[in-house]
Amino acid sequence: MENNNENKPIIDNEDLKKTRCRTLIIEGTKYRTYLTQKFVSREKWTSPDENLITSIIPGTIVTVLVRKGQKVKEGESLLILESMKMQNKILAPRDAVVKIIKVAAGQIIPKGYVMLELE
């Protein structure tokens, strides 16, 4: 008795479309992969705005060390954010002028919160 299933694909093309199958070519080699719903639904990466200073961890603002309109130099401390009992200095990424301060001392902020805006 001959096995006719050897040459048949395990999943036909209609099933592949439903399961979000993709073909990748890496260094000339083709790979087929299935994308999970979590991957398909993920938040797409966008280039960060260099004028926005956002929190990378949740925490409490201890001190704001700058004022609106103040000129700051690269590496200068802007504010202190306390998280997990550690105080973290938030530094200026480049020479700039403080445009907007969106936090105050004692404020609890989540991850990704915009703390300052530079110009």
- CA dist., res. 114 & res. 61, Å (int): 12
Mean per-residue pLDDT over the chain, rounded: 86
> pLDDT confidence of 46, banded at 50, 70, 90?
confident
- Structure-derived torsion over alpha carbons of residues 97, 101, 106, 112, reported in degrees to the nearest 10: -100
Name the strands in the sheet holding 108-109, side by side, starting at the edge strand that comes first in the sequence: 86-91, 77-83, 59-64, 108-109
Mean pLDDT, rounded, for 3-23: 55
Range with the poorest average pLDDT among 5-9, 60-64, 71-75: 5-9
Domain boundaries, the chain: 52-118
pTM of the model: 0.65
> What pLDDT, on the 0 to 100 scale, is given for residue 19?
56
The fold of 52-118 is OB fold (Dihydrolipoamide Acetyltransferase, E2P) (2.40.50)
pLDDT over threshold 70, residue 65: yes
